[in-house]
Chain A
Amino acid sequence: MLGLEVKDIHSQYGANKVLNGVSLSVEDGKFLTLLGPSGCGKTTLLRVVAGFNQPTKGEVYIKGERVDLDPPYKRDVGLVFQNYALFPHMTIFNNVAYGLRLRKLGKSEISDRVREALELVRLSGYEDRLPKQLSGGEQQRIAMARALVIRPRILLLDEPLSNLDLKLRQHLRLEIKSIQSKTGLTTLYVTHDQTEALVMSDQVAVLNKGVIQQIGSPTHIYEYPANRFVADFVGEGNVFEGKFSQDGTFTTEDGLSIQVSEGRTANVERGVLYVRPEKISITKTAKNVNSFPGRIRVIVYEGPTVRYLISLTPSREILAVEQITELASLRNEGDDVYVSWSPDGSAVVAS
């Protein structure tokens, strides 16, 4: 059964078309992330599902029931806001109990469920505190508790981690994912952070300018991006424009001839070839295939990895990323090297 389905959603703000015929579906219990840059329409789509945006066209179905004509308070969805939106004039207990009280549950049941929800987010004992006494991360977890305690049909999260610092984000990502698995809720997650998307999701939908670019599993999207936008946005890449010919060679505009394996090309003649930086190896001597001479221009140490900018020609620079090794520490800026990658390591997509 489909936990969530949206069909052909169009949404407009004034003259601005924010969503242009978006359709997707999430299987029951699965986690789908809407990924895209600012302004791509991902938050708007989330708000359409929640009921705060009226689409000009299209339908929304939650667990098979049509909801797009219902007001937000009838939809029974759990929503976690980017700024948490905890009611400042209520204690944590009352915040979490708010939805339950509206559903007219009994006092003891409410208090049991609130306790359970706080345990789930590992903040038991916080019942009598006020939101302003909590840290950002704690507020975020309470926001989750409040959304989960009403046992919604689906869960929506709108960039819940973007106001937190890196370590907290990394930690909470896993917590959110674990809570989601435990509760088995169909989840729609919105973010612009591709690491988050890749780490947490069962499926990722990449959006740009109101149109879905690709939907697939994280690995699939990373390894087989459908077009240049996805290739660029998800992960980093070195991008070459050029022409692909049937014998398996891609000729770039600056004249490089690159071998590409069969499974790694889209059916295009004019396209874009990209190589992920981690697939590039740096050697002193040329290798058999796909090996080009260049000079190391910049070396940047990033903790566990090292980043190189290598110029092949004055107008063409390659980004390569390596794990830190002893070999890496012997390299210097200005060295002459060869960059190479296997035909499997690159792919051609439509531009």
Chain B
Amino acid sequence: MNTSNLTRLLGRIIIWGTVVATILYLWAPLAIDLLMSFEPGVVLRFPITGVSLKWYQFFFTNPLFINGMVVSFSLAIVSAILAVALAIPCSMAFVRFRFPGKGALTSLFTAPLSTPSVVLGVALLYFFSVINFGASFLNLIIGHLLLTFPYSLRTITATMFGFDMSLEEASMNLGANEIETFQRITLPIISPGIIASFIFAIAVSLDDVGMTQFLVTASTQTLNIALLGYWRWVLDPTVGAASAFLIFVGVALTLLAERVVGLERFLL
């Protein structure tokens, strides 16, 4: 076997090896965590000493976590809806018009992406106290809107770039006014992009801790904050059950996104 074939073989081994290793590296912790959540005992251990749903029961019936779930999900859905609702007109404006300061405005709107969420959190906390802004849930919504809006804007702008304007002109030529055109033509065509950005926004909001920790109060604790608080004091398999639940939500979102948006654009 000459050197050329040897190196080719080596190359193939490296690549296939990394691919397989990556798949394992990415899935194994999640799978094993799932497995370990069935441990009936009070300590997380592997291998598990039995199979029991008691920690799941504990997790889903505990008012601390139930309240957390309600807060987290309602926060996520509200901020995602607001983010998308703002992002659609903004990205239409960006894609269709020329105006001075477009670059600066784009940087402004996407700046929160490069800002660590902890930084956003302290800034908002201090700012709210300075201007005497009460209302904890509203604070959370504003904060999460800052987190989610840049993602939505990016995704929807990308979709709008690919949108063919002559379709709207054809529609108007055939008799539909601006609103009818948006409803019948534009919206259906960009809806995969909108749904994808919605899913992403929900995931970002659900996951955040860095900023959220500064804006919560005792009654508006998100699930993550509640979990971290709990974990500080008690190290039992509840975290296993909780993380299994979060994994389930994440995978469900992924499959939904995959079905709606399709991953062909990456494979092409």
Contact = CB atoms under 8 A, between A and B. Distances in A.
Interface of A: 50-52, 71-73, 75-79, 81, 83, 85-89, 98-99, 102-103, 146, 150
Given A87-B185, A88-B189, A72 B172 contact: yes
B175 A50 contact: no
Given A72-B169, A81-B166, A83-B166, A89 B174 contact: no
B180 A87 contact: no
A85 B164 contact: yes
A85 B172 contact: no
Closest 8 CB pairs of A and B: A99-B174, A102-B175, A85-B170, A85-B166, A79-B173, A72-B172, A73-B172, A73-B175
Given A71-B172, A73-B172, A102 B167 contact: no
Contacts of A76: 175
Interface string B174-216: 1111001000110011000000000000000000000000000
A146 B164 CA distance: 18
A131 to B, nearest CB: 11
Contacts of B173: 50-51, 72-73, 75, 77-79
B171 interface: yes
Given A146-B170, A150-B174, 11 more contacts: A50-B173, A71-B177, A72-B169, A72-B172, A73-B173, A73-B176, A81-B169, A83-B164, A85-B167, A87-B185, A103-B175
Name which of B164, B170, B176, B189 has the most chain A CB atoms within 10 A of its CB.
Answer: B170
Contacts of B174: 73, 98-99, 102, 146, 150
10 contacts: A50-B169, A72-B173, A73-B176, A81-B166, A81-B170, A83-B166, A85-B170, A102-B176, A102-B180, A146-B174
B169 A98 contact: no
Contacts of A50: 169, 173
Name which of A52, A71, A72, A83 has the most chain B CB atoms within 10 A of its CB.
Answer: A72
B169 A85 contact: yes
A251 B124 CA distance: 85
A103 B180 CA distance: 13
Contacts of B175: 73, 76, 99, 102-103, 150
Interface of B: 164, 166-167, 169-177, 180, 184-185, 188-189
Say what secondary structure dominates the interface of chain B.
Answer: helix
Nearest to B191: A89
A78 to B, nearest CB: 8
Nearest to A97: B174
A288 B185 CA distance: 69
Name which of A50, A78, A86, A98 has the most chain B CB atoms within 10 A of its CB.
Answer: A98
A76 B172 CA distance: 10
Contact of A52 (B169, B185, B188, B189): B169
A253 B20 CA distance: 79
A87 B177 CA distance: 16
A146 B173 CA distance: 11
Contacts of A87: 167, 170-171, 185
Contacts of B189: 88-89
Contacts of A103: 175
Nearest to B188: A89
A133 to B, nearest CB: 17
Nearest to A79: B173
Contacts of A77: 173
A99 B180 CA distance: 12
Contacts of A86: 170
Contacts of A79: 169-170, 173
Contacts of B167: 85, 87-88
B154 to A, nearest CB: 23
Contacts of B170: 79, 81, 85-87, 146
A79 B167 CA distance: 12
Nearest to A47: B169
A191 to B, nearest CB: 18
Name which of A52, A85, A86, A99 has the most chain B CB atoms within 10 A of its CB.
Answer: A85
